[in-house]
Each structure stands twice: as C-alpha cells, then as structure tokens.
Amino acid sequence: MAVHRVGMAELKIGGPGDRLEALGLGSCIGLAMVDKVNRVGGMVHIMLPDSKIVQGPVKQLGKYADTAVPELLDQVLRAGAMRERLVVKMAGGAEMFSFAGSDAPKMAIGKRNTEAVNGFLKEYRLKLSGSDTGGNKGRTFIVSLDELSFMIRIVGKGEANL
C-alpha cells in the first residue's frame, strides 16, 4: 500500500490498495474521484477558484478549480477508471479568517472555491456524492482505494465518514 500525500496545488493518482491524503485543508478544496469497481482514483488539492488571475500559461493545473476538475477527470480516466462508476467527493472550503469591509466577499475564498468546484462538476456532468465544506475548521481528507472509504478529520471534532 502506498500513501500519496496530496499537497497544495498537487494532483495524485492511485490504484488498488493505495491511500490518498490531503492534509490541512482550510479554504482549499480536496476533491476525489474514485472508480468504485476497479479502485483507481485521484485527488487534487485546489487552492483558488479561477486561473484567470494568471498571466500566461497555468503551470500548476491542480491549483485552480477551473483547471483542476478537468485535469483530475482526465487523469483518472487515463488510469483506467470508468466515468459512469466514479464516486466524487470533496472536503474543505472553510473560512479560516474573518474580514470586515467591502472586500469581504472577495476574500471568502473557501466559499468561492466550493462554488467553483460545484460549478465545474456540474459542467462536466459529474455527480457529487458526498461533501463536507464550509465552517471555520481545518480538515484532513483521506481516501482509501482499498476499502473504498472516504474519511474526514476535522480539527477539534475528530473523524467522520464522508
């Protein structure tokens, strides 16, 4: 069994027996896609909703929701997953800091990340089958491809299945 730690802006693919982990999700989104039959899957650690802020080509496709969702789907399918068997779940999107003033909605990165990922999942006709987002607590998202389990650890609250 290999443990794949998915750091910020990273995307990793695993196979049967592997485990995917996104640690320290605050406003970031951990998005997982797993083929429930052949146990191939992937996870991406999305930091921001939109790559339009980048001038020039995007170098880290996992960093932005608009590039991460299609890239994760593409890589999972290339690894042998079947689209119709995908289980799609996400965690994160917390508001870790409170901002006052007129720029507060722009700074709501967790909420904006969650909305962006949901929008792109809808655009790619992918059904979200589980989600744990929002609030103001950090999370860790762990996917076991062997057991087909999706677990969330929330700071101060313990573990829960997703």
Average of pLDDT values for 125-152? Answer: 96
At 1-16, the pLDDT tens digits run: 799 999 999 999 999 9
At 81-113, the pLDDT tens digits run: 999 999 999 999 999 875 555 445 557 899 999
pLDDT of residue 105: 53
Residue matched to tokens 């996104």: 22
Q: How many whole angstroms separate alpha carbon 70 and alpha carbon 90?
A: 15
pLDDT of residue 98: 59
How far, rounded to the nearest angstrom, does the alpha carbon of residue 151 sit from its chain's CA centroid? 13
Q: Bridge-partner residues for 4, per DSSP?
A: 20
pTM of the model: 0.93
Three-state secondary structure of the chain: CCEEECCCCCEEEECCCCEEEEEEECCCEEEEEEECCCCCEEEEEECECCHHHCCCCCCCHHHEHHHHHHHHHHHHHHCCCCHHHEEEEEEECCCCCCCCCCCHHHHCHHHHHHHHHHHHHHHCCCCEEEEEECCCCCEEEEEECCCCEEEEEECCCEEEEC
* Domains, in order of start, for the chain: 3-161 (3.30.1330.200)
Q: How far is CA 113 from CA 36, 49, 93, 134, 156, in A?
A: 26, 5, 6, 10, 23
Q: How many whole angstroms separate alpha carbon 15 and alpha carbon 79?
A: 8
Residue 50 pLDDT greater than 70, yes or no:
yes
6, 28, 90, 143: the catalytic one is 28
| Sign of the dihedral through C-alpha 85, 128, 131, 20 | positive
Q: Assess whether 135 carries a catalytic annotation.
A: no
Q: How many residues does the chain have?
A: 162
